[in-house]
């Protein structure tokens, strides 16, 4: 089993439990070919519903979240330079000498997929042997603060904000209420 697909399934389950207040773990699942089907069909001028990004809904009750967000999942990417493995760290956004830090490359892919589907990008990543984190536009964070107050801990790097995924879930216990207000 590829590491990425297992992480996508893990995140889909976590999103499902969060979305349903712990009642169901099967509302979200990984997209067909991890979003590649959406990308290829988009190049041909065709749309593919709920296949942008890495997460799709397997139950219509998850539709509202995926109407709003395009969710990309990334894991691995060792912290040491190995053959074929890029070194990366969250602090690379601030002090890296890399032309484009790995985390920014991940973000740009997430942002590109989101733009193609007219959705807000959300990147969920996990470094090796670490807990998952979420990256969002600081603009999205600020709009969520209007409903949920200020989260406990975030890292802001330019127009991006990073926080732990579990903290994100605790900070926003009921995003459905916000999404309904935006309809």
Successive 10-residue mean pLDDT values, the chain, 183 residues: 78 96 95 53 50 85 94 77 60 79 91 92 92 95 90 89 95 82 57
End-to-end CA distance of the chain: give it in Å, rounded. 39
Cβ atoms 153, 163 nearer than 8 A: yes
Number of domains in the chain: 1
Closest CA to 8 of 160, 116, 132: 132
Burial class of residue 152, CB neighbours in 10 A (0-12, 13-18, 19+): exposed
**What pLDDT was estimated at residue 3?**
65
Residue 181's pLDDT is 62
pLDDT of residue 131: 93
The pLDDT of residue 37 is: 44
Q: What is the pLDDT of residue 126?
A: 93
- Please give the residue range of the domain that contains residue 95: 3-181
pLDDT of residue 129: 83
Q: Phi/psi zone of residue 149: left (φ > 0), alpha (ψ -120 to 50 degrees), beta?
A: left
> What pLDDT is attached to residue 44?
52
The pTM for the full model equals 0.83
Determine the pLDDT at residue 151: 86
Tokens 């790995």 identify what position?
102
pLDDT value for 142? 92
Contacts of 104 (CB under 8 A, 6+ apart): 92, 93
Closest CA to 2 of 76, 96, 66: 76
């Amino acid at each position: 089993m590829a590491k990425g697909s297992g992480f996508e399934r893990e995140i889909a389950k976590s999103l499902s439990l969060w979305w349903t207040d712990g009642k169901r773990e099967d509302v979200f699942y990984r997209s067909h070919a991890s979003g590649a089907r959406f990308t290829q069909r988009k190049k041909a001028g065709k749309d593919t519903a709920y296949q942008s990004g890495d997460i799709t809904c397997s139950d219509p009750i998850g539709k509202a979240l995926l109407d709003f967000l395009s969710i990309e999942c990334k894991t691995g990417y060792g912290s040491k330079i190995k053959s074929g493995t890029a070194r990366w760290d969250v602090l690379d956004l601030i002090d890296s000498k890399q032309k484009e830090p790995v985390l920014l490359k991940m973000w740009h892919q997430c942002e590109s997929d989101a733009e193609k589907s007219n959705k807000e990008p959300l990147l969920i990543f996990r470094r090796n042997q670490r807990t998952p984190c979420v990256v969002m536009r600081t603009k999205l964070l600020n709009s969520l603060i209007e409903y949920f107050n200020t989260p406990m801990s975030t890292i802001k790097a330019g127009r991006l904000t990073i926080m732990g995924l579990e903290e994100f879930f605790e900070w926003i216990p009921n995003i459905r209420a916000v999404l309904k207000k935006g309809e």
